[in-house]
Chain A
Amino acid sequence: EVQLVESGGGLVQPGRSLRLSCAASGFSFGDFAMHWVRQAPGKGLQWVSGISWSSGSIGYADSVKGRFTISRDNAKNSLFLQMNSLRPEDSAVYYCGKDQGFGEWRGMDVWGQGTTVIVSS
C-alpha cells in the first residue's frame, strides 16, 4: 500500500524551530519529487516547498523562503522540513505529497494525513 505518514508537529513558541518528517512506503521513493503543502484553519491549500528526486532542484513559497529548508533521505524513504523562526501565521496542518511526475513537477497523487503545527506563545 502506498503511504505517507507525517510526524513532528506540535505547539511551539514564535521564533523557535520545528522539524517535520514524512515516512514513505509502498513505492520507489527515490524516483519522485516530493512536496510539503499546508492548510491554515479555514483556509485553502498552500504549497510550501518541493524537492526533486535527486535533491538537485528545490523550490519554496515566498512566505517561507529563508526560514524553511526541505531535504530528503532516499536511503531511508524520508522527507523533512526544517522550520526556523516560526511565526503565528505558520500555524497549519502540514501535508507531504508525492509528485506524480518522474522528472518534471506535475501534481500530487498521494498525500499523507497531515501533522498540525501551532505557533503560539
Chain B
Amino acid sequence: YELTQPPSVSVSPGQTARITCSGDALPKQYAYWYQQKPGQAPVVVIYKDTERPSGIPERFSGSSSGTTVTLTISGVQAEDEADYYCQSADSSGTYRVIFGGGTKLTVL
C-alpha cells in the first residue's frame, strides 16, 4: 500500500500548480494534503479529498478521480513554495496511516 507523488513541481508566480498522489486505496479512503515549510510543522491544506480548512487561501483546492487525488494551487504565490505531502489512513482492519513521499513545489 503506497501513495506516489512526483518529487518536484515547478511553476511561475500566478500560474497553476497541480500535484498528484496515486494509490490503489484512495477510492476507499479519504486523502489529506499537508504543506510543510522548512523548520516548521506540517499544516493541513486539504482534508477529506476536497475540503479546505478555515484560514487556508481559496487558491488551494483538492479533487479526486479513481486512484488519484490532486492538489491544485491556482495563482501560485512565492509563499506557496514548500513541500507537500498526501496522506490516507485505514482503520477498517489494519490500523495504519500512509504518507506519500512528498513533492517539492518551487516557485520560479
Contacts and interface: CB of A to CB of B under 8 A. Distances in A.
Interface of A: 33, 35, 37, 44-47, 50, 52, 57-59, 61, 95, 99-101, 103-109, 111-114
Interface of B: 30-32, 34, 36, 41-44, 47-48, 53, 83, 85, 87-92, 94-102
Contacts of A33: 91
Nearest to A109: B44
Interface secondary structure of B, over-half rule: strand
Given A45-B42, A45-B85, A112-B41, A106 B47 contact: yes
Contacts of A104: 89, 91-92
Can you list the 8 inter-chain pairs with the closest CB atoms, starting with the nearest?
Answer: A59-B95, A107-B32, A105-B91, A105-B89, A47-B97, A44-B102, A111-B41, A45-B99
